[in-house]
Structure 1
Amino acid sequence: NLLADYVEQNWHLHSSITEQIMLVILIYSSLKIEQILLIIKIYFSFTLERIVLMNKIYFSFLIE
């Protein structure tokens, strides 16, 4: 990915936060919508599993 290589090489040159944010937006816009949705789906499935696990642990403490 040319864009990723460019960002890696030039990240230290872009000192201001706004430029870094613009670069991040540029990277995300270069991704396909499906990829972004997949990332979001994976992230949420992980958080849901964690929430369920935490609830189980919490309730097991309550029962004891």
Structure 2
Amino acid sequence: MSTTSVVMMIVAMVVVWGGLVAAILYLRSRPEVVGGPHEDPDLVRDDEERFQQPHPYRDT
């Protein structure tokens, strides 16, 4: 391997692994919100009404 290819390989590895480490550190410092805001009651009602309706069959 030439010097250029080794340098590019190292740069690519630093970018990939550095991005992984940065993502892990970011997620550890700001975890996903578990008790977030509640859903819109209108959307929940629409979903429940749609669930009660029979499945729309297509007869072709």
TM-score normalized with structure 2 length: 0.48
Structure with larger RCO (C-alpha < 8 A, sep 6+): 1
Which protein has the larger Cα radius of gyration, Structure 1 or Structure 2?
2
